[in-house]
Every structure is written in structure tokens, then in C-alpha cells.
Amino acid sequence: MGASLGSGCQNSPVVVGQSQMVDAAEEPPGRPPGSALLPILESSCSSSAENGCRSESVSPIVVNLDAPLAEPVARARKSAPARRKGRTTVVESPAAHKVASYVMPGAMLAPPAADEAPGATPILRIDSPHNAPPADPERDAAPASQTHPADPPFYIVTPSRRPQNPRSRAFRKRFFPEATDKEWNDWRWQSRHRIKNLEQMERMLSLTLEERTALIEGGQMLPVGITPYYMSLLDAENAEQPLRRTVVPSSKEFLRSRGEADDPLGEDGHSPVPGLVHRYPDRVLLLALDFCSTYCRYCTRSRVVGHGELMANEKRLELAFDYLRKTPQVRDVLISGGDPLSLSEDKLDWILGKLRAIPHIEFIRIGTKMPAVLPQRITPQLTRVLRKYHPLWMSIHFLHPDECTPEAARACARLADAGIPLGAQTVLLKGVNDSVPVMKELIQKLLLMRVRPYYLYQCDPISGSAHFRTSIEKGLEIIGGLRGHTTGYGVPTYVVDAPGGGGKIPLQPNYYVGRDGDDIVLRNFEGKTYRYPDPVEA
């Protein structure tokens, strides 16, 4: 099934479609392995200057979201002559107007020139988004350093660009002026420079009394750790800013409320070997380590993470693998932690290899927050390791639309291009994402990053979490505000993880009103009722 972007174009940039990975051997010159590619089906545009499209000189691209990789066409494009014109690469290819080619996001088909003979070779322009200003010979001739093109939308990922959102740029200049580009974009540098104590924190944020008290009296609680990248997304002056609330501790964490517990899900009681939770019949949770690059103040496993007691050492993990070898009903392993992507490529390779060597383990998942808190971790080296172990899926922890930066989009694009299906897990948090507009913005941005919203979790009653927990009604209100009001793919399943180990229980607004004779009465997303004929069986 194809999806036409042309019909809805209102001077919008070309949207990244379902891009596909191309082996290094197939890569056109100058494109790094794993870069995003778009299948182009044909060129057509119903928009024009009359109906609002300011980009008169170009036609948008129609993207076939389901097209398989057309190797012969990709090869044809590879051999097409290319030349540079200002910031634009121009490719002349006889295939350009046909079921054409795989090109980078932002590629445009040039319009036929007024004097162009019918059947002349069409021209494919690369790196020129749909809303780019019309060609200007003087501007195009200027050196790149003198041009100031507007930043493209955050989800447009091009291999030639190492994105840095403006907030991070300003933060880095102010607090890490000595850091080179290479260092800032190096996940190990980011890990080494995490912000972990009061002294570092008060240099960067105006702390409230509650934050300062928590940092001074932290004691046994979940440690503090924030990557410089994630810190750059925080508001230095506003302690109520959603992202800041989730990572900067508050003395409210010291309060214990009714029903709270350190292990509310009863995981420790379902742990046959250290770091392995076996609660459901055919799947297990493997805690690879207890380290996270950034610690979330509402973490369900705050009793475990960050205390340096659960290491990724081979002796412990071998116990877990032994258990799995002897438990043939387990077909699905979720590797979580801590954040498993904090491990080196070699260690991940070893763990994944051990799991794949167990014949009855069919499905492997990784749970991570790296694309949100340390997107620099998603390197080509990492994806090269991960893609060896398909089918491999990934659940990414995203909370708020402010996390959807160009850096996060690039990280997700790399994972998706490596063939990893991406799902988002979001915890519903008071004052962070507990409103329909915020949640709608988040899920719509996630879809643009090719991440399917998967679960919306009711916040677990962990000790000291009252200031984060909303009512269940709030969660139902949010799902009711999404279902039918935005793309169905974006509506997550709202679940309560039952305290005591009962597992996930899905909740949704009640659309079933009841039976009336031979009819079922249903309520739609607008609250209107409808009848569905459903005769009672005699």
C-alpha cells in the first residue's frame, strides 16, 4: 500500500517514510552504511501556488511506505552521474520519474524546464527539502559557511548532518566550552561527564529548597546521574519543567504514602536466579546490569538500579543462561536493567550470542532509555552488533515531546534502519505528561521518529512516588482523548502493573454501552451512541 504525500502537501517538507537499510556494498558513493533511504514511487503534486504551496519550483515525492528494496533501481541510481550545485546534489537519471529510486530524505524532483523537450532526462535533486526557497544562483554560489539555512524539522535525518538542537548547542558552549564536537557526540565522554552532585548541579540550575535538600540528604535513595546532553534539555530556572522534574531529585521522594513499596511488583519473589525475573509463563526479564546513564526519579527498580550490586559479570549471567537452557517454555527474553545499552558492544555481543544459542529462545527484546537520554550511544558500531541477532525488538522509554530532538530522531532512525522494530514505553506522570495535548504531541512525534507508542504505564506505587502518581481516571481520560482523535497507530495500551505481581492489566474507556434486544449499543470517540445488529443466538 502506498502513501501519497503529494495530496496533502501544504508546503511541508518530505516526510521520512519507511526507510530501509542498504548494505555497504550497495551504498552510493559518499553515503555511510546504514543511512536512511526513501523509496520513491512517482512524482505528483496536487498542491500549487494557488492552494498554498509556496514551493512553486519543485514537486513533492510520493512515497511507497511498503515498497521492498528495489535493488536494481538502487544500482541504477548509484551509477547515475552526480554533480554538486551549491548545497544540492543533482542526479540525472532516466529512472527519476518512474518507480524510481532510493534517495535520501529531502530529495526533490526538479520540475521540467519550460523549454524542455518531451522525454528529456528528468533530474533528481538530493538534499533539498520541499520547503526550501526557490533556486537562487547567487545564494547557491555562496560558500556554505555564509549561508544560514533554517533547521529542518527534527525528524528529518540526513547522513551528512550531525544534528544538535539549539538548547544543547547553547548549553555546551556555556558549560563545556572546551568539549570538541567529537567529544560531545561520544557516548563515553557523555557518560564520564554526567552530573551527579549538588556542586555540579547548582552551577547549571537554580535549585529550589526541595531539590537542594534532596541532593544534600540523598542517603540510600536512587542515585543522581544526568548526562550533559539531557541536562541541556532542562530549564535552568523552572523547577516545574517536565523533564527537570523527572531527573532532578526532590525531598518529596522522602515521603512514604499508603500502598507504596520498594518492590511493588513483587519481582524479587519471582526471581529464580539473581537478576532474572520469571513472572509470565513464556517470557522472562533479564536484568543485565544496574547502571543507567540518567536516573529517573520514578524508577520502578530504584531498589536495584544505581547501587553497583548487579554487575554484568559473566558468572552471574551464566547462571541466568543456565536457567534459561533448562526452562524450555521460555521463548521470549526482555533484556533490561539498568540500561543494557550502557554495556560495551563486546559485552552485548556476548549476551545476545549466548541467548541466540539457546534453541527455544525465539524472541529477544531490549528495554532502553538511551535514545532519549544519550542518543549519542546509538552508533553504527552498536547497530552492527544488534542487527546480527534478529528478530530483535526494542522498547524505548520516552516521556515527553521535549525528548524528541533531532539527536533522538537520528538515534531512532539508525535503529529502525538496522531493522529493529521500535516501541515506546511511557510512564504517566503528574505534572509531566498528564494531559491530552502533551500526550498527543508526544505520540505524534514518536510516530515521525518511526517509534510506535506501545504502553502507557500507570506509575507504579514505589516508595516516595506520590508526587508523580495520577489517578486512574486521568489515564482513561488521556486514552479517550487520543483514540479516534489521532492516528490509531499512535494510541498506546494503557496498563496498570498490578501490585504484588499480578502482571499488566489493560484499561480503556468503556465504548460498550450494553445490549438492547438484538442490538449492541456502542459509544464512539465523540460520545455518540450507535447500534450494531447482533441477534441473540436462539
Q: How far is the CB of 287 from ligand SF4 (least distance, A)?
A: 9
**Can residue 305 be called a binding residue for ligand SF4 (CB under 6 A)?**
yes
Provide Rg for the chain, Cα atoms: 26
Q: Which is nearer to ligand SF4, 241 or 300 (CB)?
A: 300
Interface stretch with ligand SF4, choices 112-120, 337-345, 388-396, 485-493 (CB under 6 A): 337-345
Q: Which among 295, 286, 427 has a CA at the least distance from the CA of 361? A: 286
Q: Which is nearer to ligand SF4, 35 or 191 (CB)?
A: 191
Pairing of strands 363-368, 392-397: parallel
Q: Which among 200, 138, 151 has a CA at the least distance from the CA of 175? A: 200
Q: Which among 405, 462, 453, 394 has a CA at the least distance from the CA of 426? A: 453
Q: Which among 423, 362, 426, 417 has a CA at the least distance from the CA of 386? A: 417
Q: Is 369 a catalytic residue?
A: no
Q: Is 349 a catalytic residue?
A: no
**Can residue 400 be called a binding residue for ligand SF4 (CB under 6 A)?**
no
Q: Is 497 a catalytic residue?
A: yes
The single-letter DSSP state of residue 121 is P
**Can residue 432 be called a binding residue for ligand SF4 (CB under 6 A)?**
no
Q: Is 504 a catalytic residue?
A: yes
The single-letter DSSP state of residue 395 is E
* Catalytic residue, candidates 296, 404, 412, 459: 296
Q: Which among 31, 9, 16 has a CA at the least distance from the CA of 157? A: 16
* Catalytic residue, candidates 78, 139, 162, 279: 279
Q: Grid coordinates in use for 352?
A: 545476545
Show the site string, 360-399: x = touches ligand SF4 by CB under 6 A, - = not.
---------x---------------------------x--
Cβ pair 493, 455 in contact under 8 A:
yes
Q: Which is nearer to ligand SF4, 299 or 478 (CB)?
A: 299
**Can residue 6 be called a binding residue for ligand SF4 (CB under 6 A)?**
no
Q: Grid coordinates in use for 471?
A: 489517578
Q: Report the SS3 class of residue 164.
A: coil
Q: Which is nearer to ligand SF4, 60 or 228 (CB)?
A: 228
Q: Which is nearer to ligand SF4, 339 or 417 (CB)?
A: 339
Q: Which is nearer to ligand SF4, 132 or 348 (CB)?
A: 348
**Half-sphere exposure in the Cβ direction for 373 (13 Å, CA):** 25
Q: How far is the CB of 297 from ligand SF4 (least distance, A)?
A: 8
Interface stretch with ligand SF4, choices 31-39, 147-155, 293-301, 485-493 (CB under 6 A): 293-301
**Can residue 301 be called a binding residue for ligand SF4 (CB under 6 A)?**
yes
Q: Is 332 exposed, middle or buried (0-12, 13-18, 19+ CB in 10 A)?
A: middle
Pairing of strands 493-498, 88-92: unpaired
Instruction: Work out which of 45, 296, 366, 495 binds ligand SF4, going by CB under 6 A.
Output: 296
Residues in contact with ligand SF4, counted by CB under 6 A, come to a total of 11
Instruction: Work out which of 299, 404, 449, 459 binds ligand SF4, going by CB under 6 A.
Output: 299
Q: Is 235 a catalytic residue?
A: no
**Can residue 303 be called a binding residue for ligand SF4 (CB under 6 A)?**
no
Q: Report the SS3 class of residue 305.
A: coil
Q: How far is the CB of 78 from ligand SF4 (least distance, A)?
A: 41
Task: Please tell me the distance from the alpha carbon of residue 36 to that of residue 44, in angstroms, as a whole number.
Answer: 22
Q: Is 180 exposed, middle or buried (0-12, 13-18, 19+ CB in 10 A)?
A: exposed
- Site for ligand SF4, rule CB under 6 A: 292, 295-296, 299, 301, 305, 337-339, 369, 397
Give me the active site residues, please: 279-280, 283, 292, 296, 299, 301, 460, 497, 504
